[in-house]
Every structure is written in C-alpha cells, then in structure tokens.
Amino acid sequence: MATSNTVRPSTTLRLRLAADPLAGYLDGAWWPHSRDPEVELADLVDHFPTKDGHIRRVVYSRPDWLTQPRKIPVSRGRLKTGSFPHDDTHVVLLSLSTGVELKLLVVPPDTAAGSAQRVMAQAAAPGNKRSGPELLSKARSDPNTDAVGHWFDDGGAPVGVAATHAGAASVDES
C-alpha cells in the first residue's frame, strides 16, 4: 500500500458547514484537492474551524480514496480513522471533541468550481433532505451547471473536463 508523506503547501480548506448541524440529512460538504486520504484528511483535521471543536476520529467511504489508512499523521499526533467497506455514499463522519458527529458530503476533487460550490451550498442548506449521491447526481443531470466530477465507482471523470480550483471557496461556515 503506497502512502503519501507529501505535505501540500498552504491551500484553502474547501469546507462548508451547515449553520444548524444535525438539522438536515447532511451537515455540510467538503471538497478535497485530491484522492490521497493522508494528505486530505490531515488537511481537514488540521484546519477544521476550532470554534466547532477538534476532530477526534474520521470514518470515510472507501471508494472516494486511493488508499484506506487506519491512522493518519496530523499536527497533534496520529488520528484514528475507519471506513465503510462497501459504502458509496461519498460522506465522511467526523467525531468532534464536543461529542457531536458531523456527516459531510465529499465532493469529487475533479469537480468544476461552480458545480462544487453549488453542491456544497445545497448540502449545507437548512433542512436539506437529499443524500450525497442524490446531490451529486442532480448536479450532473442539470443542464444549467458545469460538469461535476465523478467518483471511480460511478463511471470515472467526464471526458474533457478540466479540474479547476480557481475561485475555490474558503472555509465557509454559513
């Protein structure tokens, strides 16, 4: 199993949290920059908004990532992780130090910026009742949106779609 010890230069954490967590099906969305779980999960843990508590454990959907580490190095030590073996819901569950557990949609890294931002806003919308796959599917089928990336378990990336991170949202907690 190949793992990465690459530390990415400072980038913007592309995260959108619901104003009222636990009120909808999802508590927000996260748009990682790659499919490397050690780099991306460490980035999420190390840059998670401190007012919400710190992340104590992460459980993820396996199809979203290249490897399935059981622990990842983070700034405060090693973080225990787990996975849903055959799950394709494209979510991460974050257990916080406050006792709260958040369910975030994981937007494919190759998703065009406009689509990613729309899907993230929908996932964090008050009272959202759509699951991660429903939101991603709806965005792909809407002719008025730019292309949405695909996970490997639903057909791979669309042909000719360039990943763009221009205008990527910063940490957005609204």
pLDDT 10s digits, 40-87? 999 999 999 988 789 999 999 998 999 999 999 999 999 999 998 777
What is the spatial distance between Cα 171 and Cα 18, in angstroms, rounded to a whole number?
Answer: 12
Q: Where are the domains of the chain?
A: 15-154
Instruction: Give SS3 for 94.
Output: strand
Instruction: Give SS3 for 128.
Output: coil
Task: Label residue 155 exposed, middle or buried (CB < 10 Å: 0-12, 13-18, 19+).
Answer: exposed
Count of beta carbons in the 10 Å neighbourhood of residue 10:
8
Tokens of 89: 């819901």
pTM over 0.85? The answer is no
What is the spatial distance between Cα 43 and Cα 1, in angstroms, rounded to a whole number?
Answer: 21
